[in-house]
Copies of this chain bind each other. A is one copy, B any other.
Amino acid sequence: MTFQEIIKLHPKPISLDLDARLRCIEECLDCAASCTACADASLSESDLGELIGVIRVCLDCADVCEATARIATRQTRPDIRLVRATIEACAAACLACAEECDRHAAHHEHCRICADVCRRCKAACDEVLAF
């Protein structure tokens, strides 16, 4: 997406882990949108009563991923503790969401795909945290 070009034009870039960060941001955006869509699809399923846990964790995961995408995007004067704690929370949210969606993957394709996106996002967070 185009936002990555803008990030690369920052006058004082954080160069060390740029590729990992760009991947992390894109996965966070995709994961937030995927969780919003999975919660919404679940709300319209006939077995809605089985999907309460999915809806809850997808709402939470979307909230954390959006905040993380914003914070990981900013390169001006970062506070490392804040940035790391946020990405750690995002990894925890993605893991929780992947585990809950996995439990419904056999019955609901949207849960199966959402679990995959969450795992990709967790891996991208972990990669940034490894620096």
Which residues of the partner chain B approach A85 to less than 8 Å between Cβ atoms?
A: 88-89, 91-93
Is the contact region of chain A dominated by helix, strand, or loop, or is it mixed? Answer: helix
The answer to whether B81 and A44 have CB atoms under 8 Å apart is: no
Q: Given A71-B63, A86-B64, A113-B2, does the pair A48, B52 have CB atoms closer than 8 Å?
A: yes
| Pairs A–B under 8 Å by Cβ, sample size 23 | A2-B30, A3-B36, A3-B117, A5-B113, A6-B41, A7-B41, A9-B41, A9-B110, A10-B110, A36-B69, A36-B70, A37-B74, A44-B77, A56-B79, A59-B59, A59-B70, A60-B71, A60-B82, A66-B66, A66-B67, A85-B89, A86-B89, A88-B89
Q: Are A6 and B37 in contact (CB under 8 A)?
A: yes
Question: Distance (Å) between the CB of A120 and the closest chain B CB?
Answer: 8
Q: Is the CB of B74 within 8 A of A7?
A: no
Q: Which residues of B have CB within 8 Å of A126?
A: none
Among B75, B100, B108, contact of A40 (Cβ-Cβ < 8 Å): B75
